Amino acid sequence: MTEFNEADLQQKAKDHLWMHFSRQSVMEDGAGVPIIVKGDGHHIWDSKGKKYFDGLSGLFVVNAGHGRTRLAETAAKQAAELAFFPIWSYAHPNAIELADRIADYAPGDLNRVFFSTGGGEAVETAFKLAKYYWKLQGQPTKHKVISRSVAYHGTPQGALAITGIPAMKAMFEPLTPGGFRVPNTNFYRATEHGDNLIEFGQWAANRIEEMILFEGPETVAAVFLEPVQNSGGCFTPPPGYFKRVREICTKYDVLLVADEVITGFGRIGDMFASTTYDIQPDMITCAKGMTSGYSPIGATIVSDRIYEPFKHGQTSFSHGYTFGGHPVSAAVALENLKIFEEERLTQNVKENSPHFRAALDKLLDIPIVGDVRGDGYFFGIELVKDKDTRETFNDEESERLLRGFLSKALFDAGLYCRADDRGDPVIQLAPPLTIGQAEFDEIEQTLRGVL
Ligand code: PLP
């Protein structure tokens, strides 16, 4: 392993590095920032040589696992051959081949692929395309977007406008107008529906219809939904939910966008979770797992219907990114998809997901573990103050519990995962798609020890 000078790195980080979504004060007042220097399989190492279980695939990204020299070699070979060329009025083979592969995996008639460099850009692209599509249909007043409370869709100002986490937006208001919020599918907190999940799903879907009618169908361009909502802690769709959402969208001429930035590329057990839940979206946004993190890329996958007006004539979509569909990233994505197929990674997730859940369900005997939920290799564990009443921690307690204690305690115990307080307090797990029973048990044991 490469040697690192820990003190020197900490000093330089303190002097110059600005971390994302993080309190810089850990560098000024605290013990410094954990510096991760190596990954192999489902493990990572810090600069002091300590080994950790990567229970979050970096950030829902390293789906095929760390240390794949094959992907590194693919990147090096492509960089030597053609490091860069844009897909602005030109093309290169990797972008063409990758678009073809992705169109094959995508459900229904989602056959057209617009590349970006990450998830937020993919969402931004879908937002702008939805608005422009309706303009081309002679309906320029359709520009609003409906999304769900606590959902995260990225940081560009359009994507942030439809994000449902007020604390993330307050600093940047006023944002692009047009974001409208409906309830998410947090069944654990929907106690008025008793144990009737189907009824709850219909209720939640009908809130979308209510919002469309309230705003006026002639003003609503699209609904953006994650198949499994990440923020708030892995809210799965109740059976029948997406069927009803599709009916509503079709009825009012509103586009349905599945934000699969996390769920895409195997996380839920199919290449796209839209397939798992039989969602029929008009667009899919994806990124993270596409290259398993070996190079950045994102994509917006678009239906034939939306693409139709662009097929002939003078209209172009006046939008793009210099690095969108980067030759190196596209080459790595193609090789990553080969690994998925050779190692049957989606099948591994499908077959083993019930065992992962069973291991985590064991934690329900711990007094502060209120709920275990999720699907595939994507689970959230909600922590509560009182299990019988489901009373949650207040903001201050939540902050002390998660930021003040759990994040660090879990990391110290050798498990990197997420302790999230953007809704009610939740621990989130999204390990590489390669793992199996032994690793589920290891995760359960570490969580049990700390909790
Ligand atoms: N959409 C969803 C559902 C996400 O989870 C994320 C990031 O976590 C994004 C969009 C934004 O992606 P990125 O950070 O690559 O811009």
- Same domain for 267 and 185, yes or no, is yes
Residue 230 Cα to ligand 1 middle (Å): 10
For residue 428, being part of any structural domain is answered with yes
For residue 1, being part of any structural domain is answered with no
Q: DSSP H helical segments within 30-165, as ranges? A: 57-60, 69-81, 93-105, 119-136, 157-161
Residues with CB under 6 A from ligand 1: 118-120, 123, 152-154, 226, 230, 259, 261-262, 287
For residue 380, which phi and psi values (nearest 5 degrees)? -125, 145
- Same domain for 281 and 156, yes or no, is yes
Predicted pLDDT at 33: 93
- Same domain for 139 and 258, yes or no, is yes
- Same domain for 282 and 360, yes or no, is no
Residue 148 Cα to ligand 1 middle (Å): 15
Nearest CA residue ID for atom 1, ligand 1: 153
Residues 6+ apart with CB under 8 A from 306: 112, 129, 133, 255, 282, 283
What's the sign of the alpha-carbon dihedral 176, 182, 184, 186?
positive
Residue 163 Cα to ligand 1 middle (Å): 10
Which of ligand 1's atoms lies nearest the C-alpha of 60?
A: 8
* The last residue of a domain, from among 318, 342, 366: 342
Residue 175 Cα to ligand 1 middle (Å): 18
Which of ligand 1's atoms lies nearest the C-alpha of 262?
A: 5
For residue 392, being part of any structural domain is answered with yes
Which of ligand 1's atoms lies nearest the C-alpha of 154?
A: 11
- Same domain for 406 and 361, yes or no, is yes
In 194-315, the DSSP E strands lie at 220-225, 255-259, 283-286, 298-303
* The last residue of a domain, from among 282, 316, 342: 342
- Same domain for 294 and 353, yes or no, is no
Nearest CA residue ID for atom 13, ligand 1: 119
Distances (CA, A) of 190 to 133, 175, 194, 229, 390: 36, 30, 8, 15, 11
* The last residue of a domain, from among 312, 342, 372: 342
- Same domain for 308 and 348, yes or no, is no
Which of ligand 1's atoms lies nearest the C-alpha of 231?
A: 5
For residue 208, which phi and psi values (nearest 5 degrees)? -70, -45
Residue 289 Cα to ligand 1 middle (Å): 11
Cα 311 to chain center, whole Å?
Answer: 30
Q: Is residue 320 within 8 Å of 124, Cβ to Cβ? A: no
Which of ligand 1's atoms lies nearest the C-alpha of 123?
A: 10
Answer yes or no: is pLDDT of 176 > 80. Answer: no
ipTM value: 0.99
Nearest CA residue ID for atom 10, ligand 1: 153
- Same domain for 305 and 359, yes or no, is no
Q: What percent of the chain has pLDDT over 90?
A: 89
- Same domain for 362 and 270, yes or no, is no
Confidence band (pLDDT; 50, 70, 90) for 414? Answer: very high
Predicted pLDDT at 3: 84
Residue 213, domain extent = 71-342
For residue 200, being part of any structural domain is answered with yes
Residues 6+ apart with CB under 8 A from 244: 201, 202, 205, 206
For residue 330, being part of any structural domain is answered with yes
Residue 172 Cα to ligand 1 middle (Å): 18
Q: Report the alpha-carbon distance of residue 90 to residue 322 in Å, rounded.
A: 12
Model pLDDT for residues 213-229, shown as the tens digit of each residue: 999 999 999 999 999 99
Model pLDDT for residues 376-412, shown as the tens digit of each residue: 999 999 999 999 999 999 988 988 888 888 999 999 9
For residue 314, being part of any structural domain is answered with yes
For residue 125, being part of any structural domain is answered with yes
Q: Is residue 373 within 8 Å of 234, Cβ to Cβ? A: yes
Q: What CATH code is carried by the domain that includes residue 379? A: 3.90.1150.10
Number of domains in the chain: 2
Q: Report the alpha-carbon distance of residue 40 to residue 54 in Å, rounded.
A: 10
